[in-house]
Amino acid sequence: MSRVGKYPVALPQGVSAEVKGHTIAIKGKLGNLSLLCPNEIDVKVADGKVAVAMHEDTPRARVLWGTTRNNINNMVKGVTDGFKTLLEIEGVGFRAAIQGKDLVLQIGFSHEVKYLAPEGITIKAEKPTLISVTGTDRQKVGQVAAEIRALKKPEPYKGKGIKYEGERIRRKEGKKK
């Protein structure tokens, strides 16, 4: 069983945390994030650290203890450095471009596919075949990257589609004569 929850989260220079009831708000140079903590968890800010404790020692509280601590740690990392996910596009004629706030993809359909970035997320087409998704909220960055990947998942025969950087596509052999 993990005991991650017992380690306090250190607040770096320029980051502040404030607890109001069961809500914790983290402010940093890249923005503000807030988290509604479960009733089973108590959060305290003292000496530049955020401490997470269980209200009662129950199985549900034990599960939420480490999860809440890691969510707060991800919020602190997000407002200091931010999160970034890279997506690669593979296929002949497949490319991405930015038009205003829209990501415009040409991925083998008869039409262009447009994807509007949600608030707090920045999408850039660094190359025609490389997309970067950046933001302060780790969950949102991952969700947006997964939604873009779902527009054209990599297929196993030729490997065409949108994949995460470094993702290996398990290839299949084509049919034989």
Burial class of residue 68, CB neighbours in 10 A (0-12, 13-18, 19+): buried
**Per-residue pLDDT band at 2 (split at 50, 70, 90):** low
Query: How many domains are contained in the chain?
Result: 2
For 30-49, what is each residue's pLDDT tens digit?
999 999 999 989 999 988 89
Domain-located, residue 30? yes
- Domain membership of residue 35 as a residue range: 4-80
| Inside any domain, residue 26 | yes
Which of 130, 103, 128 is CA-nearest to residue 114? 103
Same domain? 16 vs 66 = yes
Which pTM was predicted? 0.87
Residue 11 belongs to a domain with what CATH number? 3.90.930.12
Do 154 and 134 fall within a single domain? Answer: yes
What per-residue confidence (pLDDT) applies to 51? 92
The confidence band for 132, taking pLDDT boundaries of 50, 70 and 90, is: very high
- For 75-109, letters b (16+ CB in 10 Å) and e give bbbbbbebbebebbbbbeebebeeeeeebebbbee
